[in-house]
Amino acid sequence: MDLKGRVAVVTGANQGFGRAVAERFVRAGADVLLVARGEERLRQVRDELSPLAEHSGQQVLALRGDVARPEDCSAVAEFARKHFGGATVLVNNAGVYGPMGALDEVDWEAWADAVRINLCGTALMCRALIPLMRARGYGKIINLSGGGATAPL
């Protein structure tokens, strides 16, 4: 698949499935913005994926961001606008397991944090990037989820 000219923002891109998704987008020719909370690992992934860019001008950039923070999501959108002229693909991959156990027994703040990241973070990134997609006349949003969404732990 040729994705030259597309700009993909991938959250949770500094490890595991997010990193693998980002790599596929790079190999397919897209410009890619890697987003995650772990800045050191994020820079390492950027450095690993950048040499895979084969098209002239193709870029792999990284920005530390927490999808649960509206200001970070806005910063991601502004970064994408400034460096890529917008975004055409959003891959919402960032997520955490959160506490496991009975609702009345788990740490409430840890549970609420998981909801902020897994639910609100997905919505916040969509809200931040949809205007960029509309401006470019094209957009795709891919929301990923682990098994905890269908079989809570």
The dihedral over CA atoms of 142, 147, 148, 150, expressed in degrees to the nearest 10, equals 90
pTM > 0.85: yes or no: yes
pLDDT score for 81: 98
Percentage above 90 pLDDT, the chain:
90
Q: What is the mean pLDDT of residues 101-107?
A: 93
Q: What is the mean pLDDT of residues 80-87?
A: 97
